[in-house]
Chain A
Amino acid sequence: METTTLNIDIKEEQKKALEEIKKQGLRVLVCCGTGCMANGAMSVIEKFKELGANVSVLSDYDKVTIVPTGCHGFCEQGVLVLIPDFHTVYVKVHAEDVEEIYESHIKNGKPVERLLYTDPKTNEKIQKSENINFYAKQTRTALGNCGHINAECLDEAISARGYEALAQVLKENNPDAVIAEIEKSGLRGRGGGGFPTGRKWKFTAANRGGKSYVVCNGDEGDPGAFMDRSVMEGDPHKLLEGIAIAAFAIGADEAYIYVRAEYPLAIKRLRKAIKDAEERHFLGEKIMGSNFNLEIHIKEGAGAFVCGEETALIASIEGERGMPRPKPPFPANKGLFGRPTLINNVETLANVPVIILKGAEWFSSMGTETSKGTKTFALTGEVNNTGLIEVPMGTTLREIIFDIGGGIRGGKKFKAVQIGGPSGGCLTEEYLDIPMDYDNLIKAGAMVGSGGLVVMAEDTCIVEVARFFMNFTQNESCGKCVPCREGTKNMLKILEKIVAGNGEMEDLEILEELAHTVKDGSLCGLGKTAPNPVLSTLKYFKDEYISHIRDKKCPAGVCTAMKTVKIIPELCKGCTKCLRNCPVEAIEGTVKQPHKIIQEKCIKCEACVKGCPFKAIVLE
């Protein structure tokens, strides 16, 4: 196959872009990820800009440029401000701190100690991000540029080697070689399924010749998951480049990015990125002077979780109700508008340019035997450092929770971790040291899924957790197949009955059988995985279910239904405040005599507990 001569020299463009960036002087990066935005990133930027007008800077720089970036991942500590040239990261920055950073550090070279990160274990102040455990243990590939470039600036993307991989594959003009490289890298689908990406490309490419599509799945729906969002918001050009490489490899000239409408910032930035890239001929017709054309559309999803399922997503793009379709036929043969379609998740595609640039071998040198490269996780729950992380496959849960995550909040004891979102499973202490990869997690009864990690401490009620996830999947079931629609509803009813203190022992049997049937019998991935939280908690925490049912006790002390309001007679002074405050007249007693709760009437609203001046009333 002949190589193509391109009319854009990407190396030249990179040089120009770097020069442009140099002109910015001292770059101060302010994280504008969703978490930091909520913490006031915009007012931090405003303040910087306000000061920037009449401030003199250190002699090496003729000016300061404030760069709004995508998510740094360390959301717990937002707003984050990075000054790369000073090797400094500031945490929990507010608008009122900006002046001090300016005066002390930018003008006089003296770091602001109080805004540096404090290690929770050593209480040490840490200036450099690479010395912070949260960052030190990570390897960022898909998120490589997130937080380091201005997501809305094409030149910044180019300076960070954006579109270099695309230029390379267009020049080499060998689509099969691209697929071979991806296959060799061992990249597997990051959206949850873990299907080998190269093989998926090969299947779709087998139908080259007619119209075919690339669809990028950005319908990130797991509660608490925001890795795809971070890529789309923080480095949209990398995603576009990944899509373009995929389209070139399989012979498509049209692509869709399906983004939830709840991600307006991602949509805005992707739209701008597409427009900018088209103007510079990185997308659109005759890309960089080659014969390759690609039109990318944004399709806003209406927020149905099930639309993350690829066939439901296709139906949704087609304008139909988002309901999964049976497979086969697989999208690779008959997908969007009946044409061969390659569907990859955002994170999967964001890995592609890096693999092309650094080579399959580099990528596959990370990870385990069956799972290569890195994986992003959204670390939430009872850990000290919540946020977005990217680690090599094979990293253990212990490293993630205790090193990167900084351990359990408030010195509490670890109880379990829910991996893979509502479709994943709950794992216990004994699994903390297994290398996390697709296959090990499946074996343990969980899944990588899209990468949600919810850490739970000793005071979490595991039955309540199962109920929470079941409520989510039940609400998000599309309602098409009976096991998922009716089965999850009845599983939820049983769980509700148990946490309400009305469970019976035979409910456990029915719950377990139904869970297996829903898993075996459902039409799509949502139903097939919805019982996982129940099955894994039944496996590891059955005694907790039994305490709820037989002893009517919630061991974690969470389920209100199992608790009673009590007045401690020794502490009660008989002031009658509680009696007057009770909305249901469930308290009796006379002045200066200890009062009593009428349990049959009590609705456990805790008005008495909160109002008692002598702390004589407790809910336990």
Chain B
Amino acid sequence: MTDKKTLFIDGLEVEFTNEPNLLEVIKKAGMSVPTLCYRPDLTQFGACRMCVVEVEGRGIQSSCTMPPENGLKIHLNTEKTRRIRKTVLELLLANHDKECLTCEKSGSCELQKYSEEYGVRKIRYPEKKKEEFFPIDNYNPSIVRDPNKCILCGACVRACSEFQGHSVLGFVNRGSNTRVEPMNGKHLSQVDCVFCGQCQTVCPTGALTIKSAIDEVWDKINDNTKKVVIQIAPAVRVALGEEFNIDAGENSIGKIYAAARRIGFDLVFDTNFSADLTIMEEANEFIERLSKGGVLPLFTSCCPAWVRYLETQHPDMLKHLSSCKSPQGMLSPVVKEFLPKYYEGYKKEDIVVVSVMPCTAKKYEAVREQLLGETDFVLTTKEFARMIKMAGINFKALKEEKANSPFGQYSGAATIFGASGGVAEAAVRTAYNMVTGEELSNVDIKTMRGVDADSRTKDTVVDIKGTKVKVRVVSTLKEAEKSLKEIKSGTSDFQILEVMACPGGCVNGGGQPISCSDSSIKEKRAEGLYKEDENLELRKSHQNPDIKKLYAECLEGKPGSHTAHKLLHTTYTDKFTNSYKDLK
């Protein structure tokens, strides 16, 4: 038994264990201090000075950086701490465009929230003039960067460097001229940004936001000559509800289908269906490569940020990348090609495919030159939630509905795509069957699971009747870079590499509801997916009857067929020297 460790917060004795800082101890005790720059998944920065507390004997300390110590006496609410916090807000607002009403983050902006809480009514310092404003960077398909709302908390800089090892954003200049910018003042589209959007998930203000496609989608819905169909990605179902006070991880897919129909979508499909399709093609590709001495390890290709990373940073590694399109990329052409076969009155040229993705990079994927015109619009989870709100739908009260056939059914293997490790686990379930003709009995491969910060590289050896296959699962590009180094140096020993750019996979994607102040949210979302997998009768992609039907009726009966290749596979380009040539 260890001794109990306690400290005193405003006189109240509070126990602590392994909390990294005072702020977490304060939170655990049910109290709070404001913060604009602290993000539990990023390194402690201590820059905004909002979380300052007075520590007896040590003076003013930022609670986000100070580790708890036994017997410390801290005070949250003193003349000094209040004065510092209010002054910080006032100083930040003096340097801010304050166009709150038209800001994307209005209502969820932390600067706005604290300014309200602290009753900032007057700014005593000279305010930034219009002519001092910087231009807005709106030149890429995924992210909008408005420097006039930036408070230099450094969260995006840390996210880019610590998650992706990429440092697309950095601090420039000194003193009051300090700014956060891509290299040499370029636009995000001119540097090798992979559009993962993690920067935007940690931004406390409207400085980094998602480029919205909502207006265009409404236009298509209102256009009577169009048939607008929608597909919903795996990770969306366990996160969208958060925007409507539903717990993280609770599966609201039935309500999402219903909401999509109320909004006015003509048909509702599920990207989970095409996740099963991806597994069929990718498992087939792996077995081909394994048996015919093809290039291994095989890299998964579902994550567009990862694909873009390889194209811009490691084009020599593109030969490892699976030629399979992502589930979004597969479903759109399948829908356009085969829907007229099953639905009367649908013509290929009139079909508009809208996808709802947990991801900002999917917006970029949709405009890749190889895929252009297939997925017409990509909405993130947050944008779709906004559309539901705009339509006046009481989401919580919706009755659950089902997706339309024939692209609506899915297996448990598909739903776990949304968590890091899910694609690999799903692939193994089906590859086992493809190689042996038998069914894998224990489908839960727990060593591939886990979305927390300690689980960003996971190795698992799978025994397919004597053939040992080592599968590596990686999340974040920073971790992926290590695996790439191993491959390049010849020390790698795995045959499959699953990479998701966002920490923990798509559940924690750049398009999901903001969860950066609570690391456990992504874990709850992942649990929600694994729970659905466990509860589904069919847990392997090849068992999905709609998949069987698609192959039988449209894809010449088997994975890797000529039509499958035409519709479901893609190519990659070396963008090392000429980034962004595929962007308009």
Contact = CB atoms under 8 A, between A and B. Distances in A.
Interface of A: 304, 306, 321, 323, 325-326, 328, 474-483, 485-490, 493, 510, 513-514, 516-517, 520-523
B175 A483 contact: no
A513 B91 CA distance: 13
Contacts of A321: 170-171
Interface stretch (B5-13, B41-49, B375-383, B466-474): B41-49
Interface string B33-65: 000000000001111110010000001101001
A482 B91 contact: yes
B94 A521 contact: no
Nearest to A481: B47
B95 interface: yes
Given A481-B48, A490-B94, A510-B124, A474 B151 contact: no
Given A486-B92, A520-B80, A326 B46 contact: yes
Nearest to B175: A477
A521 B152 contact: no
Contacts of B152: 479-480, 482, 485
B125 interface: yes
Nearest to A497: B126
B517 to A, nearest CB: 19
A486 B125 CA distance: 10
Given A321-B170, A479-B178, A487 B47 contact: no
Contacts of A326: 44-46, 62, 65-66
Contacts, number: 107
Q: Which of A306, A482, A489, A510 has the most CB of B within 10 A?
A: A482
Interface in B219-272: none
A237 to B, nearest CB: 35
Interface of B: 44-49, 52, 59-60, 62, 65-67, 80, 83-84, 87-88, 91-92, 94-95, 124-126, 151-152, 154, 170-171, 173-178
Nearest to B173: A479
Nearest to B50: A482
A520 B48 CA distance: 13
A412 B288 CA distance: 93
Contacts of A478: 174-175, 178
Contacts of B88: 482-483, 486, 521
A523 B62 contact: yes
Q: Which of B67, B152, B175 has the most CB of A within 10 A?
A: B175
Given A486-B88, A520-B60, 20 more contacts: A325-B46, A328-B65, A479-B173, A479-B174, A479-B175, A479-B177, A482-B49, A483-B49, A483-B87, A483-B91, A485-B176, A486-B91, A488-B175, A488-B176, A490-B91, A493-B126, A520-B59, A521-B52, A522-B49, A523-B62
A514 B88 CA distance: 10
B175 A475 contact: yes
Contact of B176 (A477, A483, A522): A477
The 3 closest A-B pairs by CB, nearest first: A479-B178, A326-B65, A486-B91
B47 A523 contact: yes
Contacts of A521: 49, 52, 60, 84, 87-88
Q: Which of A321, A517, A522 has the most CB of B within 10 A?
A: A517
B176 A486 contact: yes
Given A486-B91, A510-B124, A523-B62, A481 B173 contact: no
Contacts of B173: 479
Nearest to A516: B83
A614 B52 CA distance: 64
A481 B176 contact: no
B242 to A, nearest CB: 30
Contacts of A485: 152, 175-176, 178
B174 A514 contact: no
Nearest to A506: B124
A520 B95 CA distance: 21
Q: Which of B62, B67, B178 has the most CB of A within 10 A?
A: B178
Contacts of B175: 474-479, 485, 488-489
Contacts of A490: 91, 94, 125-126
B162 to A, nearest CB: 12
29 contacts: A326-B44, A326-B65, A328-B66, A474-B175, A475-B174, A475-B175, A476-B174, A476-B175, A477-B174, A478-B174, A479-B176, A479-B177, A480-B154, A480-B171, A480-B178, A481-B46, A481-B47, A482-B92, A483-B87, A486-B88, A486-B91, A487-B91, A493-B126, A510-B124, A510-B125, A513-B83, A513-B87, A523-B47, A523-B49
